[in-house]
Amino acid sequence: MPQLRGRAATPIRPGLTIKKVLWGRLPLATGEYVTEASISDLHRAYRRCIYEENQLRDKNHRLRGMNIHSFTTLFRFARYLGLVEFVRNDNRLFDYGGNLVEGNRKIFRLSDKGQANHTSWFDLRKAWQE
């Protein structure tokens, strides 16, 4: 088996984090366990896992998590593979510094294929490419 390098060698895999959150095994950043979430909720849960892992590491060996754009691109591969499915649009009003802004979030959940498949979650881009 080849030696893993770079992001592939990190203990926190973004694909597995998505699966664990949507499976209800890993809480969101708010602490609640869900089976349906938006991409931004999943990204915040992933960043929280990175933060908690970095608390255990010294300053020179900290992990750098994915930004929201890269995470959204990775999530798109999960959609292409049919591992997650769209549930509904969630229209809400958000308060940003006293200004009310209407937001539209897309809510996703694990599909039956996503629950059964475990190997594709390790590297979603490579699974989509193959």
Q: What is the mean pLDDT of residues 124-129?
A: 85
Give the global pTM: 0.85
Question: 87, 85, 74, 88: which is closest to 121 by C-alpha?
Answer: 74
CA dist 72 and 120 (Å) reads 17
φ and ψ at 25, to 5 degrees?
A: -100, -15
The model's pLDDT over 83-98, given as tens digits with 9 standing for 90+, comes to 999 999 988 777 777 7
Predicted confidence band of residue 50 (pLDDT cuts 50, 70, 90): very high
How many CA atoms within 13 Å lie on the side-chain side of 89? Answer: 5
Domains of the chain by range and CATH? 6-129 (1.10.10)
Bridge partner residues of 96 (DSSP): 99
Pair 122, 100: CB distance under 8 Å: no
Per-residue confidence (pLDDT) for residue 94, from 0 to 100? 74
Question: 90, 93, 79: which is closest to 124 by C-alpha?
Answer: 79
Pair 71, 37: CB distance under 8 Å: no
